[in-house]
Amino acid sequence: ETGVTQTPRHLVMGMTNKKSLKCEQHLGHNAMYWYKQSAKKPLELMFVYNFKEQTENNSVPSRFSPECPNSSHLFLHLHTLQPEDSALYLCASSSLNQETQYFGPGTRLLVL
């Protein structure tokens, strides 16, 4: 248990569906991250939020839309995804003054 939770843990969706991934951290951190891990590829950073403000968008397609309503919650809204978007989506958090990132267990997404 890292103090970072993600729901759902598994998700199957069609290409026309709209779904949202949720991340919550109970560590008092003020930075949160989304990463994507496709099969047999390294983890890729998608988005970074500092104090609820997005500070990095790593050239992510607009069909992925992040939302950070407060420093404890982070969402990833999904719409009109493609089968190649099937992956493990990982959320992480950190303090701005700490070097360590704490990861959640991930959401395993399958797009049909």
Q: Which residues contact 100 (CB under 8 A, 6 or more apart)?
A: 94
Our finding on whether 82 is near another protein (CB under 8 A) is: no
To the nearest whole angstrom, how small is the minimum distance from the Cβ of residue 50 to another protein?
5
Our finding on whether 66 is near another protein (CB under 8 A) is: no
Task: Please report the beta strands in the chain, taking only residues with DSSP state E, as ranges in sequence order.
Answer: 4-7, 10-13, 18-25, 31-37, 44-50, 53-57, 64-70, 73-79, 87-94, 102-103, 107-111
Interface residue with another protein among 8, 14, 18, 56 (CB under 8 A) is 56
The residue written with tokens 């026309």 in the block is 16
Residues 7-26 that bind another protein (CB under 8 A): none
Interface residue with another protein among 68, 78, 81, 106 (CB under 8 A) is 106
- Applying CB under 8 A, which part among 13-21, 43-51, 61-69, 75-83 lies near another protein? 43-51
Indicate the burial class of 27 (C-beta count within 10 angstroms; 0-12, 13-18, 19 or more). Answer: middle
List residues near another protein by CB under 8 A.
Answer: 2, 4, 31, 33, 35, 42-45, 48, 50, 55-56, 58, 88, 90, 92, 94, 96-106, 108
